[in-house]
Chain A
Amino acid sequence: MNETPKNGLWTPDQPMVSIKDVHKSFGPLEVLKGISFDVMKGEVICIIGPSGSGKSTLIRCINALNDIQKGSIKVEGIEVNDPDLDKLELRKKVGMVFQQYNLFPHKTALENVMMAPIHVLKQDKADVEQRAYRLIKKVRLEGKETSYPGELSGGQQQRVAIARSLAMNPDVMLFDEVTAALDPETVKEVLVTIQELAEDGMTCILVTHEMGFARELANHIYFTDRGVIVEHGPPASFFAEAKDPRTQEFLSQIL
């Protein structure tokens, strides 16, 4: 759909997201100390690690919610660490889903999905509405179109949030611990939604504590601790042959 490089710099054989030596500090506290990795189109990447290791900060940097002090983040050739960055252009390509859903409470599920395409992309309202119905159906919430977020369960709200992001037709989806605030029963319905997305070929970067999910779906797992990538690899080798003691300790605690 949107694969033609805008400025001729990016082609689909290049990494869709390219992160190089990223440093990020909050005041004197350095939370990212030189992180690098690439994400190819259609890949599912899971970032795991103890809390406070900088995982969330890292993916928030990818869509410029946080700025970085050093290094480079490129999304389809757009340099994020650029004072003249066109944030609008970047955020049209990158969708993000948050731990706390952050739906707009004064709008119905359908309106939540429709708002950004209508007001940001200035798309035709009737078309957007049709697409919004399809997206609500895709996240299996048919019949909930007119419900307000307050009337939906956590899992349902999170699926509306996913649909809302998808309505912008992003090329990459970022998931920031999207199941961490959910009841155990509703975690699964959200994970199934993400799985279906991944199977459709969506490029996904997830910060997650769901090891089972990471093992099943990830193409590559990155383990971060104290601002650096300690260990990484495809799930099979990552879980079987973790070498670093920090990784081993973390996995023994969580599995």
Chain B
Amino acid sequence: MGSHTKSRFKRAIPGLDSGTPPMTDLPVLKPVFQGSRETWTWPTIAGVPRLAVPAWMVGLALIAFALSIGAAQAQAGAAAITFWTAFPQWLPFIMEGFVLNLLISFFAMLLGTVMGLGLGLAQVSTLDPLRRFAWLVTQFFRNSPWLVLLFCFMLLLPFRVKIGGSEIDIPGWTKATFALSLPIMANIAEIVRGAVLSIPIGQWESAESLAFSRRQTMWMIILPQCFKRMIPPWMNWYAILTMATPLCSILEVQEMMKSTREALNALGDKPELVAPFYTFVLVVFFVYIYPIARWTIHLERKFAVKN
């Protein structure tokens, strides 16, 4: 494994490697990547992957933020409300909204993962009708626009239920969470199905010849081997889901996007405040999601090398 640290090519390539004259004067397309991709690892601190967003990325985001403020101030002139007076005042309100984004993303992911595991296993079931049904459900939710799903479930699900004698309000964000968990469920199901099918048939056969039941084989032998390879795509879907949570704002869920809109509203919808406020929302999402994306890539590489 460690043998190909320097060059990926065993033989010297004429004209490319040092000391070898080219065999032709025609232009040669050089490999795009000449380093040793296989041996590169994400820098770690005490064994933990360094999650810190590279400084220049943060810098870039902050510059964009600053520029938008600058532009806003130039437009505002001597008006009473400036970004610097308004923003700190509304920051807690906006961040409270972000907490709801996080809650929606956590619960939708949790629900989607549990349901997706069931649906994925149903897709590799030996029962023909169950397998077909699971396939249909998966395809349906994988290929539906998330916003449309959100609208449907906000309207389909009741806003109030009666349990016993008392009426309980169902908050909008829980309905949104459920709606968002459905496409996650379908995509997790595909990940589970793919991972299960990627385990060599010999594992099933040896388990079978040791008299394990199908259920035992799945839970004790197949799924534990799938776990690792499912983590990177699973994290990827979490990132996608989190980026989709602002969709809920359209349905009056009090998340970050809606809070920001309301803050701007309260400030009199001043055009010079719109850009910096929304840029701030972007920066917050970026700072949260970018490390997850990097970590996903890191894990993908790590597991790829081990397998």
- Chain A residues proximal to chain B, CB less than 8 Å: 63, 65, 87-88, 91-92, 94-96, 98, 100, 102-106, 115-116, 119-120, 161, 164-165, 168
Contacts and interface: CB of A to CB of B under 8 A. Distances in A.
Given A104-B203, A105-B225, A95 B220 contact: no
A112 B212 CA distance: 13
B210 A165 contact: yes
A98 B206 contact: yes
22 contacts: A65-B209, A87-B208, A87-B211, A92-B211, A94-B209, A98-B202, A100-B202, A102-B200, A102-B205, A103-B206, A104-B221, A106-B224, A106-B225, A115-B210, A116-B210, A116-B211, A119-B216, A119-B220, A120-B210, A161-B206, A164-B210, A165-B210
Interface of B: 200, 202-203, 205-213, 216, 220-221, 224-225
A91 B200 CA distance: 21
Given A98-B205, A102-B206, A91 B211 contact: yes
- Count chain A CB atoms within 10 A of each CB in B209, B211, B212 and give the residue with the most: B209
B202 A120 contact: no
Residue of B206, B220, B224 with most chain A CB atoms under a 10 A cut-off: B206
Given A98-B202, A103-B206, A119-B220, 6 more contacts: A65-B209, A87-B211, A104-B207, A104-B225, A116-B212, A119-B216
Nearest to A120: B211
A120 B212 contact: yes
A103 B200 CA distance: 11
Contact of B216 (A65, A94, A95, A120): A120
Nearest to B207: A104
B201 to A, nearest CB: 9
A174 B189 CA distance: 37
Q: Which residue, of B200, B205, B225, has the highest number of chain A Cβ atoms within 10 A?
A: B205
B203 A95 contact: no
Nearest to A164: B210
A77 B106 CA distance: 57
Nearest to B205: A65
A91 B209 contact: yes
A96 B212 CA distance: 13
Contacts of A119: 212, 216, 220
A18 B207 CA distance: 25
A94 B220 CA distance: 22
Contacts of B212: 116, 119-120
Contacts of A161: 206
Contacts of A100: 200, 202
A92 B212 CA distance: 10
Contacts of B224: 106
Given A115-B220, A120-B216, A63 B209 contact: yes
Contacts of B216: 119-120
Contacts of A98: 202, 205-206
Contacts of A116: 210-212
B202 A102 contact: yes
Nearest to A89: B211
Given A115-B220, A119-B216, A120-B216, A102 B203 contact: yes
Contacts of B208: 65, 87, 91
Nearest to A92: B211
Contacts of B200: 100, 102
A104 B220 CA distance: 10
Contacts of A115: 210, 220
Contacts of B203: 102, 104
Contacts of A103: 206
Contacts of B205: 65, 98, 102
10 closest pairs, A vs B, by CB? Answer: A102-B206, A91-B211, A102-B202, A116-B210, A96-B209, A120-B211, A88-B211, A106-B224, A100-B202, A106-B225
B209 A95 contact: yes
Nearest to A174: B209
A138 B153 CA distance: 63
Nearest to B225: A106
| Interface-centre pick from B208, B210, B220, B221 (highest chain A CB count, 10 A) | B210
A102 B206 CA distance: 6
Contacts of B225: 104-106
A168 B206 contact: no
A168 B211 contact: yes
A65 B206 CA distance: 10
Contacts of A95: 209
Contacts of B221: 104
Nearest to A99: B202
A96 B213 CA distance: 16
A111 to B, nearest CB: 11
Nearest to A94: B209
B203 to A, nearest CB: 6
Nearest to A167: B210
A168 B202 contact: no
